[in-house]
Amino acid sequence: MNFKDVSIRRKLTWAIMLTSTTVLLLTGLAFMAYELATFRSRIQANVRTVADIVALNSAASLAFLHTNDAHLVLDSLRAYPNAVHAALYTPDGQLFASYLAPSAPRVPDVVPPRHSERFEASHFLVFHPVIYNGKLQGTFYLKYSLTTLYEQVRLYGSMALMILAGSTLAALGLSAFLQKRISQPILALAGTAREISGRKDYSVRAEKTSNDELGVLTDSFNDMLTQIQQRDDALREKEERLSTLNSDLERRVQERTAELTEANRELEAFTYSVAHDLRAPLRHIAAFSQILQEELGDRMPPSATDLSNRIRGAIQQMGRLVDDLLNLARIGRQELRRQPTELPPIVEEVIASFKSEIENRKIEFRVGNLPVVKCDPALMHYVFTNLISNAIKYTRPRDHAIIEIAQAAGNGNGQTIFIRDNGVGFSMQYADKLFGVFQRLHRAEQFEGTGVGLAIVERIIRKHGGKVWAEAEPDKGATFYFSIE
């Protein structure tokens, strides 16, 4: 388990135990290190003293080569149980006399430097010069066992471990007692927080048990709960009012939507009815005008013939207007049937449909890469028909017309298609009128039209969840964009 996920009670216990154990362990190690250093210094001083005495007492024996006297002096080392062996060497390094403790190894044959000291793994070695009347007579060698030192260290180590174990148990009991006094208020505060979080009841308050930092924390926690409760009550009241307002607004929206739907249905029905009913009178007027010209023939005055032709032209314009109104009404009622559709075949079919109309003109169609979009193919066919027809119409003054159809890159509006021409263009200050019914930016004498086509395009694109817009400059062409979501 991760330490940060352990309860605060265990964290406090572990912290107290770790601190106390570490302090005790470091204290014990420092004490043992001090005792070891002190004992080594004491042994070193004692061995030096023994070496001084033996060297002094054996100086005459070496000087006059009295071997028996030298052995007697060395035998005095039996009073020192830790003396393993000792020896006297002549100045040329020859063994003169020796002392061996029971089970001790033999004395070295070759003497090291005349005066040196060193600690080995378990012994202390001393080489001391023997001087008589200011003249070097030889070297005294003593090997001293450190068994007593290590026994002392083991004794101190055992005592330190016993003290450490006892202190650890005492620290464990003390930490168990102290951590409750510290952690209990915190655990109680955490329990209150869990209760509030589970029940969402901000009227619960934590019990204050002391005036220390935990008491301050409890007071702050209770103050926070009071503020949350007040805000929660205010928020609940606002939510109730908002819910009431939303319900009322939703009811009104439903009513207005129903009214608007009914009004649109009636308007579309009225438009369809009017447009349909206009067809019969128009046909009668056209027929009467035709009969009049046929019966009068050459007897018909030129002015009457001109008027008759104008009547027939107006009837054709009115017929186109009726057709557009019927299309506008039909699109409003038509159900959208979306399916994945490849746009290039539709564009090619639309361009081919204008072949006879543009056979005497020089028009360059530039069709770029077009995507597959999910749309109603029949309605999309009408969109391209209307926009390409407008491009053909408004490039009529150009000797070399260029019409480009492609997908716009990086527009951020889903799949965006544009139709661009180099025609007469228009001023952008009138762009908001483009897609309104019966709105025209050019005179009928310049460019024919009913002012309904772009309104139908806008309605089709809106039914697809997209939008249509245009960019243009006078006499610099126009670009119409539409997006499909």
pLDDT score, position 402:
92
- CB contact set of 222 (below 8 Å; sequence gap of 6+): 205, 206, 208
- CB contact set of 30 (below 8 Å; sequence gap of 6+): none
Q: Where are the beta strands (DSSP E) in 425-484?
A: 468-472, 478-484
Amino acid at site 132: Y
pLDDT score, position 115:
76
CA–CA gap between residue 75 and residue 65 (Å, rounded): 17
Structure tokens at 276: 């349909």
Where do we find the tokens 């912290």? 15
CA angle 9, 12, 18 (to 5 degrees): 135
Helices (H) and strands (E) in the chain, counts: 9, 12
Given a contact cutoff of 8 angstroms between Cβ atoms, the answer to whether 54 and 108 are in contact is no
SS3 content of the chain, % helix, strand, coil (to 5): 60, 15, 25
| CA end-to-end distance (rounded Å), the chain | 52
Note the pLDDT tens digit of each residue in 446-457: 555 556 778 888
Given a contact cutoff of 8 angstroms between Cβ atoms, the answer to whether 374 and 413 are in contact is no
pLDDT score, position 150:
77
pLDDT score, position 406:
92
Burial classification of residue 171, based on how many CB atoms lie within 10 Å of its CB (0-12 exposed, 13-18 middle, 19 or more buried): buried
Q: What is the DSSP letter of 98?
A: E
Taking CA atoms, 181 is separated from 17, 174, 194, 398, in Å, by 16, 11, 21, 96
- Residue 125 pairs with which residues in a beta bridge? 118, 143
CA–CA gap between residue 320 and residue 310 (Å, rounded): 15
Taking CA atoms, 446 is separated from 213, 221, 440, 473, in Å, by 89, 80, 11, 18
Rounded percentage of the chain residues whose pLDDT exceeds 70: 71
CA–CA gap between residue 441 and residue 421 (Å, rounded): 16
Spans in the chain with pLDDT lower than 70: 1-12, 103-114, 175-185, 187-190, 199-204, 206-215, 260-280, 282-284, 286, 288, 292-293, 297, 310, 312-334, 410-414, 430-431, 436-451
List the chain domain ranges.
3-169, 334-484
Burial classification of residue 252, based on how many CB atoms lie within 10 Å of its CB (0-12 exposed, 13-18 middle, 19 or more buried): exposed
CA–CA gap between residue 72 and residue 68 (Å, rounded): 6
The CATH code that applies to domain 3-169 is 3.30.450.20
Taking CA atoms, 65 is separated from 72, 100, 224, 453, 462, in Å, by 13, 20, 101, 143, 132
- Three-state SS for 147-170 is HHHHHHHHHHHHHHHHHHHHHHHH
Complete edge-to-edge strand list for the sheet that includes strand 116-119: 95-100, 83-89, 135-145, 123-132, 116-119
CA–CA gap between residue 134 and residue 139 (Å, rounded): 14
Q: Which CATH code, of 1.10.3720.10, 3.40.50.300, 3.90.1150.10, 3.30.565.10, is assigned to 334-484?
A: 3.30.565.10
